[in-house]
Structure 1
């Protein structure tokens, strides 16, 4: 572990040297002179706070309520650690790798290091993708997406992973998986140039995290007692509060991705609410038929399924399209979280793949069906083939990258806690803390 820490410090030092050496007063390739839009800046400031709230406390409570009492603190710690690690990495290199210029004329797979340590960013610069916003604000807003993505993955390996392994995983995964995919779709890379549409993160965030979660669940194996012991959520009230915070925060996630306070932001906001409601209904109908009773957890899961499904399409479809995306996403995610998991017998603890992987895939494909230029001129490039190509690329990059990172963790920190510690609970064995009755 000491060798890993030394290597990480050496990497930071080398990046700092690169940043200092490349410092120059001229604008970087991805930059423009700021032409401030005060209304849009105010909305993105608000959206940044809303999306940050999605991880802390939204996702933390949503996941924390679904685990057993003995693992609540460990689950909350994953979301908190993801926030801390990704924020620092975003400043050091993540932003530059995601939204910096790749230096490749044909649009590469990852950005360069010109903006490492935010070199060249000033109050008067803007990213070329959002010239009306201060670049510092753009950086903060995009950071919130980078934070929640690995935090979502933690739902798949909850209740059995070493905390040290999760720390190393978050570190490597942000640099080697999230940043390249973000660049390829949003930062000037090949998928964006191909015409792959991802309005607010269906592929970059949800499919990326969902596939990584599935790989992690398969590599780690099931929890001890899975399929035999009672692993019911310990506090659905926590989960309901977390889902409510996610719903509100998702308005910043989707409507904020218009990058302006305009009509597209307005339709994205309405589509987000409508799709969540439609998916909750779709999920609960299937659950009622399948289990003979509706559950609060089902309603909450359906709500999140709809939010995930509409994310890639939020500012590209009209409300009719949003309604159908939500109505399809609910049952599809139910099938992924219940029937698929049961059939294949893998232990995705909190359904990271069932909700985010399946919902993101469904939403991304349906974006190619329902996107319309009547809502957004960018929908002109919409087609099912491009969406499928983009999804295949994200699945492959995330799946292979996640597997390799898990192997690094396995042979350095180790992945799973010992059986006795898992049975006792990660709160005490990993953190020395407990939730009192």
Structure 2
């Protein structure tokens, strides 16, 4: 029986495994700062990997070990939130592969807005509903079911297969960062974020800035005697939008959109009758990778342009020149890019063409994910490939198409066999 035959004959079991993961609460709390409930899901992952003869490495994220990496999100409550990494040792002579997926989900929000239980984990029509189904338990389950399918085929791999079920991705990626710090490397990696089975070899970097502007407060009836901090902050924001416009006109990437700066939060003032004495802006900037620069060089150049833009506004304003705004980066992540000429991408194109009987789509991810950590700090050629529509992430009534889930299992199986190599067939 071939790969597709085994998947079809075992599809109820495979869907049941995914359903069990979705029915298990693995929410992060306060973006991971206050902890998370991942352990219950990790116990399921651990047992299944043990059943498939994987060697298990179970470990917690430790701030002291990851703090050396730019963009590490320190100060999270890591207690009782283990990473589970399973390694299926190859017979030798093949290439190694990391399959990376996160077990944590965002909170479901207001339950009354859901048309069903967020932990339903049941199929209706050809769709499985539940929190985390797309983001990204379906792809994580597909990785493990691919390993089970390979075992059912009687194949023995030449190269090592490493499956990483990580925590705290929704809190910024500390789980994967801990895997990199622990020394996990491979000849290639696949991150299973939802891509609708498209290949994504690049994603944007991001920088979150907080800009705090000082004013001079007094009663609004004499506002000319004060300094309106919101007015001054708006001048800075308008200059940043001009920078964004220049970038959109000059920065090009074949797979990614242009750079953007979003003003996501503004706080200032206490009442309409009071000239505001302070104002803070929080922005999120997305920027592209450049193959002519390291990820760190690109990040530093982009950040420098932001700071220079703010400085020009400051120098051109008498009040701001004497009371310069305070600017800091409070969260960030590098971009990443694997050249489309890399054998990893060529081989995945071929596999997808055979499994889906259509040409593979190669595109970029406009957001960011843990691929940046494997590629940037682990120096591992990486792509993003998973099932589900990314528009289903972090929304009510989250769901994933069952046919995509089953197709992804077959894609992973065929790629593992091709990439890692086969030693023998029982």
TM-score exceeds 0.5: no
With structure 1 as the length reference, what TM-score do the two structures score? Answer: 0.27
Higher strand share: 2
Name the larger-Rg structure: 2
Higher helix share: 1
